[in-house]
Chain A
Amino acid sequence: MRIGVVTFPGSLDDRDAQRAIRLAGAEPVALWHGEHDLHGVDALVLPGGFSYGDYLRAGAIASLSPIMAEVIDAANKGMPVLGICNGFQMLAEAHLLEGGLIRNDHGRFICRDQKLRIENNATDWTGSFEAGQEITIPLKNGEGGFTASADAIARLEGEGRVVARYLEVNPNGSLNDIAGVSNARGNVVGLMPHPEHAVEPGFGPDTADAMRSGVDGLTFFASAIERALVSR
């Protein structure tokens, strides 16, 4: 399986996402925002960072990049697409996901290992988790406050499209402690925390077993790979 990672000007975690994909067992394919070519990939990751300096709004200018025409088309045809942090903001700005991300309610950038509960393990990116599984992956954002109209929140909750929820601490003022959402089909997922930073022993969050041994993030990428094998 080949999973594309789109690099935008200001992307920071594109190489980390590529490494995570490789560790999960797929082939990462570097894609460039200025091209109109997905190079035949089977799935896509929009990585974290500060695309275009996040001028205008976080992810807004990136959502208008040339390659986003192909990303939106592929997403609407069912290709698995994962947006992480800035990538989540792009997917919201591109209207592939409902809601928006605003500045953290406390006004500060936050970086912490964040506990989450997987609320929906039927999406293309969470299928290999147990229902309700609790995980810990890093979170780092300045504009991670998930917001949406009351109607949209009710719809997301009612249709099980809240993919992950913050546990113990709501780090950014997100409504209903929402850390990630999906589209109705479950192929497009946006996540504010960073699974690609918890994929390799020695470099992940601390666990009860050992320091920096957390690799809970790997399962997001493994889910997409497993889904592709099942549907083949």
Chain B
Amino acid sequence: MPTIVVEVMPKAELLDPQGKAVAGALGRLGKTRFSGVRVGKRFEITVAGHVDDAVLAEVQELADSVLSNSVIEDVVGIHVLEAPAGETH
């Protein structure tokens, strides 16, 4: 079955304490070339049937209304996942 990926990130202007904590850990590991980390979310939505423009539009609507909160987050990507090699539909 096809899978649609939705990626959501905290708004750039907001503090991202999770990312800051991870960045702090990288610093403690001596990974000094990495100056920042931001943590977001990736949703993988399995679709029963084939993906057409109407399905993508529905996912876009869900991404904006349910999967993200526009006050604090941005939807940064929606794409259809390529089927793994060998898998047939």
Q: Which residue of B lies closest to A102 (CB)?
A: B72
Q: Does B76 contact A (CB under 8 A)?
A: no
Q: Does B20 contact A (CB under 8 A)?
A: yes
Given contacts A60-B69, A148-B71, contact A102 B10 (CB under 8 A): yes
C-alpha spacing A152/B71, complex, angstroms? 10
Contacts of A145 in B (CB 8 A): 15
Whether B17 lies near A147 (C-beta < 8 A) is: no
Q: Does A104 contact B (CB under 8 A)?
A: yes
Main secondary structure of the interface of A (DSSP, over half): loop
The distance from the CB of B29 to the nearest CB of chain A, in whole angstroms, is 18
The distance from the CB of B63 to the nearest CB of chain A, in whole angstroms, is 12
Q: Which residue of A lies closest to B21 (CB)?
A: A107
The distance from the CB of A59 to the nearest CB of chain B, in whole angstroms, is 10
How does the 8 Å CB contact mask read for A47-62 relative to B, with 1 for contact and 0 for none? 0000000001100100
Whether A100 lies near B17 (C-beta < 8 A) is: no
User: How many contacts A-B (CB < 8 Å)?
Assistant: 37
C-alpha spacing A56/B42, complex, angstroms? 11
Chain B residues in the interface with A (C-beta under 8 A): 10, 14-15, 17-18, 20-21, 66-67, 69, 71-73
Interface set, chain A 119-159, CB cutoff 8 A to B: 145, 147-149, 152
Interface set, chain A 73-102, CB cutoff 8 A to B: 92-93, 98-100, 102
Given contacts A145-B15, A147-B14, contact A100 B71 (CB under 8 A): yes
Contacts of A92 in B (CB 8 A): 71
Contacts of A35 in B (CB 8 A): none
C-alpha spacing A64/B66, complex, angstroms? 9
